[in-house]
Amino acid sequence: MDIKAYLTKKKELVDKALEKLVPPAKLFPISVHEAMRYSLFAGGKRVRPVLAIAAAEALGARTADLLPVAGSLELIHTYSLIHDDLPAMDNDDLRRGRPTCHKVYGEAVAILAGDGLLNMAFEVLSDPRRLKAVPAGRLVAIIKEISTASGVFGMVGGQVVDMESEGKDVDFPTLEYIHTHKTGALIRASVRTGALYAKAGKRQFIALSRYGELVGLAFQITDDILDITGTQEMIGKDVGSDIKKGKKTFPSFYGLEESRTRAHEVVDKAVQSLREFDRKADPLRELAKYIVNRVN
């Protein structure tokens, strides 16, 4: 299958759904609506929504009604990027090739745009007009999955440890904690969200969770590698920012070559974890490979 075409098609669907999920930029108060849209429509690859869709497809589910749910994953992802970029946090000026949200709208509006996106994810996930085809019990399970991945036991915890590790000689378990929480948690939750939506059986759910975990790890190793080998044009942000900030990364423990090998091993395992799935899981298999072979 042509994974690039698949991604392009799904990304279009997600973008169209997102366009309907967030209020128009002309709404009062304009600044925060503009800021939310500025960061949300900055050319993200929509990896998390696409993973949710592919997971649901692997289980044979129709995914039209999943789009708002998948979109909420991108709202959460975008909120986390805006807050992570803040001067008090990673203090990044560039994201996806453009000035970061706080550079354009100021810190106050950036913090509030992040808060607005985070809240909006749950507004969407609890909106019966948007999700009337999804039973309430399943929505509650999805809200639990996403909020846990996004909160102190997930991304927030990961970002705290990431911040507190800057310039320190952290050990590998600490780096693993950062990876699995800051990036891994929402990627895993995205796959599991698709699985919950599609009423996965217990064995299927465990397999997809494992897949999500491994893909999250592969994603982060690749991010670490691209921070060294990429160009600013490729990755849309400052190159070498991890090293500049004294952040430990996968390559700082294992070197570039070994990191590449590991990333591919992890992807092989991710594909393996889907062995009981039929061809409907091919997009998931190809997505795992795409994630380590990507250049941005």
Q: What is the spatial distance between Cα 129 and Cα 42, in angstroms, rounded to a whole number?
A: 27
Of residues 117 through 146, those in contact with a second copy by CB under 8 A are: 118-120, 122-123, 125-128, 135-137, 139-141, 143-144
The answer to whether residue 173 forms part of the interface with a second copy (CB under 8 A) is: no
Residues 68-97 that bind a second copy (CB under 8 A): 83, 86, 88-89
147 binds a second copy (CB under 8 A): yes
From the CB of residue 66, how many other CB atoms can be counted at a distance below 10 Å?
26
Please report how close the Cβ of residue 154 comes to a second copy at its closest, in angstroms: 8
We find the least distance from the C-beta atom of residue 26 to a second copy, in angstroms, to be 13
- Which is nearest to 77 in space by CA: 43, 48, 54? 48
Grouping H, G, I as helix, E, B as strand and the rest as coil, residue 94 is strand
Q: Say which residue the tokens 């590790």 belong to.
A: 165
Piece of the chain touching a second copy by CB under 8 A; list 31-39, 40-48, 222-230, 236-244: 31-39
Q: What is the rounded distance in angstroms from the CA atom of residue 220 to the CA atom of residue 218?
A: 5
**Which lies closer to a second copy via its Cβ, residue 159 or residue 222?**
159
CA 24 to chain centre: 24
Q: What is d(CA 44, CA 72) in angstroms, rounded to the nearest whole number?
A: 14
Spatial separation of the C-alpha atoms in residues 66 and 159, rounded to whole Å: 28
Length of the chain: 296
Q: Tell me which of 12, 107, 171, 258 binds a second copy, using CB under 8 A.
A: 107
Q: Using DSSP, state whether 113 is helix, strand or coil.
A: helix
Stretch that binds a second copy, among 2-10, 29-37, 49-57, 209-217 (CB under 8 A): 29-37
Pick the closest to residue 56 from 181, 190, 234 (CA basis).
190
Phi-psi bin for 273: left (phi > 0), alpha (psi -120 to 50), beta?
Answer: alpha
Q: Does 16 bind a second copy (CB under 8 A)?
A: no
Contact pick of 12, 19, 93, 164 for a second copy (by CB under 8 A): 164
Q: Does 39 participate in binding a second copy (rule CB under 8 A)? A: no
Rounded CA gap, 159 and 232, in Å? 23
Q: Which of these ranges, 61-69, 113-121, 233-241, 260-268, lies near a second copy under the rule CB under 8 A?
A: 113-121
Q: How far is the CB of 163 from a second copy (least distance, A)?
A: 5
**Which backbone phi and psi does 129 adopt, to 5 degrees?**
-65, -35
Longest dimension (CA), the chain: 52
Give the interface segment with a second copy, choosing from 148-156, 195-203, 234-242, 269-277 (CB under 8 A): 148-156
Q: Does residue 23 belong to the site contacting a second copy (CB under 8 A)? A: yes
Which C-beta is closer to a second copy: that of 57 or that of 242?
A: 242
Name the residues that contact a second copy, by CB under 8 A: 23, 28-29, 31-33, 36, 83, 86, 88-89, 106-109, 111-112, 114-116, 118-120, 122-123, 125-128, 135-137, 139-141, 143-144, 147-148, 150-152, 156-157, 159-161, 163-164
